[in-house]
Amino acid sequence: MVLCAMLLRYICSSGEKEFKSVLDLFEDYLKRWDKMNRGSPKPRLFTVGRLDVATTGLIIVTNDGDFAQKLSHPSSNLNKEYIATIDGEVKKRHLIAISEGTEIEGIHCIPDSVELLPRQPDLSRPRLRIVVHEGRNHEVRELVKNAGLEIHSLKRVRIGGFRLPADLGLGKHVELKQSDLRAMGWKS
């Protein structure tokens, strides 16, 4: 199992030609794997869930189908935490509107939590921490848009109990440890 901090303008599927696939980030990993496992076929890697092309952050890439199925199934109840950097000012009414939810694909989606993060001197834009558990297509973006705000950037920083390492650069990946897998609820 590996973890990846996705680059902007990368996609999670492999069929589109306009953008690079997140799986392209693992070419070096697969070359090293070949050298260490001579004669064995390369593992088939695929993403667990998705991030849209304009979102960065935590994406899980694996060759373990059982793990992928369990992690992505709604019954896993794994929440996902995002940091949304906002263009403009965030007021209490915006937070209330986000917390009340919005309709996506005919279903009313309500976030687990929304919080305005304290201002930091080196950041000019306000940031929101938004936690969701359904992970519907563009859910966080729709929640923010419905509240009358515009997202400048969006980053997924946590899945379940596993947090994206702060020192992991965009486009880099690390192999997950057993403790990381347990943080996401996996029991092997």
Asked if 25 and 60 touch (Cβ cutoff 8 Å), the reply is: no
Report the chain's C-alpha Rg in angstroms.
18
pLDDT at position 17:
67
Chunked mean pLDDT (size 10), the chain, 188 residues: 70 70 81 86 84 89 86 85 97 98 94 96 95 89 98 95 89 87 77
pTM for this entry: 0.88
79-159 is classed in which CATH architecture? 2-Layer Sandwich (3.30)
pLDDT at position 10:
75
Q: For the packed helices 139-146 and 92-100, what is the interaxial angle rounded to 10 degrees? A: 130
pLDDT at position 113:
98
Q: Which residue intervals of the chain bear CATH 3.30.70.1560?
A: 79-159
Indicate which residue of 34, 52, 87, 112 is catalytic.
52
Q: Which residue intervals of the chain bear CATH 3.30.70.580?
A: 2-75+162-183
Q: Is 52 a catalytic residue?
A: yes
Fold for 2-75+162-183, please state it: Alpha-Beta Plaits (3.30.70)
